[in-house]
Amino acid sequence: MILLNSFNPQKPDIIENQPLSQYTTLGTGGTAEFFAQPQDISQLQALIVEAGNIPVYVIGGGSNIVIPDGEIRGLVISTRRMNSITWRNDLTAEIGGGYILSSLVNTLRGKNIGGLEFTAGIPGTIGGAISGNAGAGGHGVCEFVEGVRAVDGRGNMVEYVRGDFSYAYRECSLGGVIIASVLMTFTEGWKEDEYTVFVTRRRNQPLNFRSAGCTFKNPEGNSAGKLLDECGCKGLTVGGASVSEKHANFIINCGHATSSDVMGLADLCARRVYECTGITLEPEIHTLSPCFNVP
């Protein structure tokens, strides 16, 4: 159990019974038994050590995730305040895991540094983007990662360099740790035309509604959105959740959705696509789960 009000100076405040819906792009989810927002890796380490054997969860920008309804027993850590950036040279920077991806894109654009044009409009933090190898157009952010500093379940700092981890479409092998910072090397010259292409694509998404992003991964050689549309999923609803009429691979919060509504609707859509086509859709959004195995 966490011993409240018994911290050394480097530990951040721990809040009890913190509502979590405000920390997600979907706007649903229950309440954290304990909640904290570290500002750097030493504070993150201190939190993990103090948590002991209780479950520890992490959220970054709150996109691509569904937090269950009800009480989340254990410690929920938000990395949003771990948002530093230090340039090593003209093209290489160490970036805090809580740094917002869209802010990084704007920084690169302003410096005429290329590489992440394809991430235009993708929400969330750089740590979350690395964990799921976020991307578009056949590219993923992990392509630019030179090194990672993370914290394991015992509060130890662990470091990885390129070659220590693998990645694929919407996947990265850096599981079981919390990403504290990443070392990334970009390319010379921002490509405005390429950036504009991806900005234009995002306009086909329901940006005026709360969502967790794309619900399903694209099957190899196919489009999840196209399959969902052809199988009549647009407009389907469960409770306060609805499949967007603008883009079928987005489940939107109509204002009063619960996480159970969202996951129930996702299951309904997956079943319908399988019954119509025999194709099994793999979820791209994740349900909040512990970062480490609790003994």
Which residues are known to be catalytic? Answer: 170, 214, 284
Q: Is 265 helix (H, G, I), strand (E, B) or coil?
A: helix
How far is it, in rounded angstroms, from Cα 111 to Cα 123? 21
The dihedral built from the CA positions of residue 123, 129, 134 and 135, taken in this order, carries a sign that is: positive
Give every CB contact of residue 5 below 8 A, 6+ residues apart in sequence: none
DSSP alpha helix (H) spans, 213-290: 224-230, 259-277
Which of 122, 98, 109, 90 minimizes the C-alpha distance to 212? 122
Question: Could you write out the DSSP letters of every residue in 171-238?
Answer: EES--SSEEEEEEEE-EES--HHHHHHHHHHHTTS-TTSEEEEESBPPPTTS-HHHHHHHTT-TT-EE
